[in-house]
Amino acid sequence: MHEADFVIIGSGSAGAAMAYRLSEDGKHSVAVIEYGGTDIGPFIQMPAALSFPMNMKRYDWGLKSEPEPHLGGRVLATPRGKVIGGSSSINGMVYVRGHARDYDHWSEEGATGWSYADVLPYFKRMEHSHGGEAGWRGTKGPMHIQRGPRQNPLYAAFIEAGKQAGFELTDDYNGSKQEGFGPMEQTIHMGRRWSVANAYLRPALKRGNVRLINGFARRVVIENQRATGVEVEIRGQAQTVRARREVIIAASPLNSPKLLMLSGVGPAEHLREHGIDVVADRPGVGQNLQDHMELYIQQESIQPITLYSKLNLFSKALIGAQWLFLKSGLGASNHFEAAAFLRSAAGVDYPDIQYHFIPVAIRYDGKAAANSHGFQAHVGPMRSKSRGSVTLRSSDPWADPVIRFNYMSHPDDWADFRHCIRLTREIFGQDAFTPYRGAEISPGAQVQSDEELDAFIKDHAESAYHPCGTCRMGRADDPMSVVDPECRVIGVDGLRVADSSIFPRITNGNLNAPSIMVGEKASDHILGRQPLSPSNQEPWINPRWQTSDR
């Protein structure tokens, strides 16, 4: 019963993609271990309800950071999907591939075979793009990607304001040109959240050679330096799911390093402290934790055209009914429909600032920040130099890991964030916003000096929920590498990690798309296939990058 060629821990972005690809030719059996339950229900499937699932114990692991020393000791929520489809079932449904230079940097850091030319064919393989740039996007893949309707005039105002401020426009930031203002892409299809559960896992489960095991993965069973299975707790009973060929961990950048350490792979001294026998001394396990932080910059709207008027119960009921019966209307969008990727300064060769724009002043947790009509930009730097860690709290598999992001620990982070705030004010101050612009809600016009801005950042900067990097991919002879460029755990046979924890450095924008790409590409490595032929397409780099930020 509990045996398969490949055993995958986690049904999230990478795990579901691997279940689909490893089972595709019918030659191999695949078992997917997932502790979370079903994703059926309006809170997950209705795009506009996105603030609910990430705040529900039923769907979220409920992990939290340790008190962050540079943020006044704040403890930050770190949502991770505990449900079929993993975090793709509770995320904001924003689709960003990352910039070409991100992947070229991976390759330079020792992740050979993962340059942009190498990964672009996998992005194309996974995509079914609706409205993307011809020749740069996939049109036959399982992942449907669309643009929002952008009916609210504030979306056009945001894009026009960027143009007026002298910045580039782009019609497809996932195509040849990331830099500029333009439409934001969504993993939404036919009015529903298009998670990897819908795109990959359900089709794979219909094949007969893929099985979903509902249980809690306690550790990987390693015998004579080879992974032979996974110890799983099912209804209070420990059982072993045996892997005839390989075990693949795809449990998130918080739980994947935890599982490795519980299985004896990690920093030897740390493992011994917790009474765990050392199988492979890999000091990089749990290190190199990275994330994106962002702020909400909020402006009052003097015209009553924002989503604020839809926050009452009657409007919500109408929106819900229209979505339930027709899969249309305001319920069928995440409302992130305009975006920008900008460079912070002359001499920066590709974007290092991301904007999400939304026509309401509201927090991620769904609480209205302002009792009035407003609009906001989520803005943050893309390449923070701060690094954190994930370590064990105890040898008990049920104990949450110790998560230290160490946000804002590098002095450059503060200057970068101050620049983001001032830049957003410049954009909101353009003529395009004049018909709509009221007072600044947050930070507020009185917050001007570096010290005042720093105080605001310290109190209000939040995670964009893009953790990664804790099982870094690199050269096999690099002591801080955890996996080699084929995702094989260094020092253990028959074991791989394939999810966002292998990123050497965080990519531009939201991490769902790169995580799925990792699952797609890892599948070819696992099957011993020749990787897809590298692309020869050249991405657009601003010809003025050395002399101007725009």
Domain that residue 441 falls in: 149-183+293-381+409-460
Q: Are 498 and 522 in contact (CB under 8 A)?
A: yes
Residue 546 falls inside a structural domain: no
Residue 550 falls inside a structural domain: no
| Same-domain pairing of 313 and 280 | no
DSSP 457-526: HHHH-EE-S--B-TT-B--TT-TT-SB-TT-BBTT-BTEEE-SGGG-SSPPSS-SHHHHHHHHHHHHHHH
The answer, yes or no, to whether residue 365 has pLDDT greater than 80, is no
| Same-domain pairing of 242 and 352 | no
Query: Which positions make up the binding site?
Result: 5-34, 83, 91-94
| Same-domain pairing of 39 and 109 | yes
| Same-domain pairing of 214 and 115 | yes
> What band does 368 get if pLDDT is binned at 50, 70 and 90?
low
Q: Could you read off the pLDDT of 131-182 as tens digits, one per residue?
A: 999 999 999 999 999 999 999 999 999 999 999 999 999 999 999 999 999 9
Residue 546 φ/ψ, nearest 5 degrees: -80, -20
| Same-domain pairing of 165 and 198 | no
Residue 232 falls inside a structural domain: yes
For residue 299, CA distances in Å to 52, 166, 238, 521 come to 24, 21, 54, 42
CATH number of the domain enclosing 425: 3.30.410.40
Instruction: In whole angstroms, give the CA distance from residue 509 to residue 77.
Output: 19
**Count of structural domains within the chain:** 2
CATH number of the domain enclosing 235: 3.50.50.60
| Same-domain pairing of 107 and 123 | yes
| Same-domain pairing of 195 and 283 | yes
Q: Could you read off the pLDDT of 212-235 as tens digits, one per residue?
A: 999 999 999 999 999 999 999 999
Percent of the chain with pLDDT over 90: 96
| Same-domain pairing of 281 and 310 | no
- Say whether 292 is catalytic: no
| Same-domain pairing of 215 and 364 | no
Catalytic position from the list 99, 419, 466, 525: 466
> What pLDDT does residue 89 have?
98
| Same-domain pairing of 525 and 441 | no
| Same-domain pairing of 90 and 128 | yes
Q: What's the pTM value of the predicted model, to 2 decimals?
A: 0.98
| Same-domain pairing of 528 and 448 | no
Residue 74 falls inside a structural domain: no
Q: Are 20 and 195 in contact (CB under 8 A)?
A: no
> What band does 406 get if pLDDT is binned at 50, 70 and 90?
very high
Query: Which positions make up the binding site for FAD?
Result: 5-34, 83, 91-94
